[in-house]
Amino acid sequence: MSDLGHSKHNKSSRKELKELKKIFDNNKFYLNKSTIKQAGYGVFSNKNFKAKSRLDEYIGEIIDDEEGAKRNDKSYFFRVFHKDGSSHIIDALPHEHSNIMKFVNGVKTPQQRKRQNCEAYQRNDKIYYRALRDINVGDELLVDYGPTYWLKPEELEKFYSKM
């Protein structure tokens, strides 16, 4: 890629970040380029949080499995399980149905796992993030989404067929 093309790309990504910041930045968190290579944007803290503090809720459009199967991009799906055995999906892809927590990046490598500072958990019918250790102003929120998060669809099938 030429320098001109690279510069053009940087300008468009800066413009995109600026627009997303208008939508998602708040008094607790802000968006910026992730510290994880090729991860896109990440969520950074605007304030200090103590370990075990609830950070925020993961918000998105509530859909059922049938609707979920129709959607091409499932990268912002969170499944919520109910006491009766049923479940629903929270899809945070559409900006109008989501909040900044959709940009919390998952750790993948052993080195990144050392930096994990929060976890996702379910309470009643909602998903939240909480601090695993103290989080300071400027820290990026990093979570481990579990062993299946990084698997390709065919790998995911193998993983579940072994259970």
Percent of the chain with pLDDT over 70: 84
Side-by-side strand order, sheet with 61-63:
61-63, 87-91, 77-81
**Top-confidence residue, 82 or 162:** 82
**Top-confidence residue, 60 or 37:** 60
Cα-only R_g, the chain: 17
Residue type, 73: D
What backbone phi and psi angles, to 5 degrees, belong to 73? Answer: -95, 110
Q: Give yes or no for residue 106 having a pLDDT over 60.
A: yes
Confidence of residue 158 (pLDDT cuts 50, 70, 90): low
Q: Give yes or no for residue 11 having a pLDDT over 90.
A: no
Identify whether the C-beta of residue 90 lies closer than 8 Å to the C-beta of residue 128: no
Separation CA 29–CA 96 (nearest Å): 18
What's the pLDDT score for residue 148?
73
For residue 109, the 8-state DSSP code is: S
What backbone phi and psi angles, to 5 degrees, belong to 141? Answer: -75, 125
Looking at the structure, give the CATH architecture of the domain made up of residues 3-50+101-119+135-161.
Beta Complex (2.170)
- Break the chain down into helix, strand, coil percent, rounded to 5: 30, 30, 40
What's the pLDDT score for residue 13?
85
Tens of pLDDT along 33-51?
A: 999 988 899 999 999 999 9
For residue 100, the 8-state DSSP code is: G
What's the pLDDT score for residue 144?
92
Mean pLDDT of all residues in 86-108: 95
Q: Give the residue extent of every domain in the chain.
A: 3-50+101-119+135-161
Mean pLDDT of all residues in 124-140: 97
Q: Give yes or no for residue 63 having a pLDDT over 70.
A: yes
- The pair of structure tokens assigned to 90 is 């929270």
Q: What is the mean pLDDT of the chain?
A: 88
Least confident of 54-58, 138-142, 146-150, 155-159: 155-159
